[in-house]
Chains A and B, each alone.
Chain A
């Protein structure tokens, strides 16, 4: 008859005895320290001061953002860079952080290190972010702005009408609210030569 395989808790106990309690305790503490360290770094890279420590961010998008309502308003509540650009929950946050490694590569190779290069890429960069917001149903907007708790009766006439229409049509924030915190890329608005061949935005959808 073949030998019966020990159960999981028995094997764990055997491992514990073999390794010794001090090493196990050491491993546990190391785990805590490692995790705290990891989290500290993650939080450090999630601060506005970190974002604008590179001039590409500071001189372009941050300067534009300083003129908008999410930076400066009557009540002083702010949405900083990561509030909109980094998801809050762990899994999506890690995925976004991993994707951001390409942005580090962009920084190293200087892909947008002058105003001219930045402007040349503005449409592509904006479209990336629009697509990300669209795919997540504007998750980061909704951390603060939730349709469920939005009382359209106390909104302006225009906003109330459009929000009700959008809600009925199942639209998401970014469908209409583009360029709210940064300048817009060239948009073809059907007014002749101006920005012909630029982005086409119709009924809230970028084409």
Chain B
């Protein structure tokens, strides 16, 4: 057996043995069905978020304005507030949106703050997005 054929043989052996260790990783990832069960545990998930619309007129004076667009999967966390990407005072002009008002820069006792009040930080606590659901019961409320 000359030098070259020995080289060829050892190369072939290496190539055969090398992938064996990785075969264990071939199994598919977690079943996505489990994840869906985790995500879809609210009845609100049964309805579709509305498409982008014009501003929705308030129904009463103190009503927090409703969100006239889809905000599902928007991140509102300590690091980042997706709403503020378009509604902050530095962005609302270029994005042509409603600006977060100065009332949101006050503490509960009315003291001026230099930052957005932590009590107001989680926008969707008051400003709720809309879905295609019909009211469950009738009512006689008039504007």
**Measuring CB to CB, which residues of chain A are less than 8 angstroms from any residue of chain B?**
19, 22-23, 26-27, 29-31, 33-38, 40-41, 44-45, 47-50, 52-53, 66-69, 71-72, 76, 78, 80, 122, 156-158, 179, 183-187, 189-195, 198, 203
Tell me the nearest residue of chain A to B118, going by C-beta: A194
| B77 and A22 contact, CB distance less than 8 A | no
| A44 and B25 contact, CB distance less than 8 A | yes
| B9 and A41 contact, CB distance less than 8 A | no
| B32 and A190 contact, CB distance less than 8 A | no
6 pairs of residues in contact across A and B, judged by CB atoms under 8 Å = A22-B5, A23-B5, A47-B26, A49-B29, A183-B77, A191-B115
Tell me the nearest residue of chain B to A19, going by C-beta: B4
Q: State the CA gap A48–B52 with chains docked (Å).
A: 35
Say how far A21's CB is from chain B's closest CB, in angstroms.
11
Tell me the nearest residue of chain A to B10, going by C-beta: A30
Tell me the nearest residue of chain B to A162, going by C-beta: B95
List which B58-97 residues lie within 8 A (CB) of chain A: 69-70, 73, 75, 77-81, 84-85, 88-91, 94
Residues of B within 8 Å of A195, CB to CB, are: 79-80
Tell me the nearest residue of chain B to A44, going by C-beta: B22
List which B19-57 residues lie within 8 A (CB) of chain A: 19, 22-23, 25-29, 32, 35-36, 39, 51-52
Residues of A within 8 Å of B121, CB to CB, are: 194
| B73 and A44 contact, CB distance less than 8 A | no
Residues of B within 8 Å of A122, CB to CB, are: 79
Q: State the CA gap A53–B28 with chains docked (Å).
A: 12
One digit per residue, 1 when the CB lies within 8 angstroms of any chain A CB and 0 when it does not, for chain B 102-128 equals 000100000001111000010000000
Q: State the CA gap A157–B105 with chains docked (Å).
A: 30
**Measuring CB to CB, which residues of chain B are less than 8 angstroms from any residue of chain A?**
2, 4-5, 8-9, 11-12, 14-16, 18-19, 22-23, 25-29, 32, 35-36, 39, 51-52, 69-70, 73, 75, 77-81, 84-85, 88-91, 94, 100, 105, 113-116, 121
Which has the most chain B C-beta neighbours within 10 Å: A34, A36, A203?
A34
Say how far A25's CB is from chain B's closest CB, in angstroms.
9
| A72 and B36 contact, CB distance less than 8 A | yes
Contact status of A191 and B116, CB under 8 A, knowing A48-B29, A49-B26, A158-B69: yes
Q: State the CA gap A40–B25 with chains docked (Å).
A: 12
Contact status of A179 and B80, CB under 8 A, knowing A23-B4, A190-B90, A194-B116: yes
Q: State the CA gap A68–B5 with chains docked (Å).
A: 54
Say how far B114's CB is from chain A's closest CB, in angstroms.
5
| B4 and A179 contact, CB distance less than 8 A | no
4 additional contacts, CB 8 Å, given A40-B19, A49-B27, A49-B28? A30-B9, A50-B25, A184-B80, A185-B80
Contact of B22 among A40, A158, A187 (CB under 8 A): A40
Contact status of A156 and B16, CB under 8 A, knowing A49-B26, A68-B73, A185-B79: no
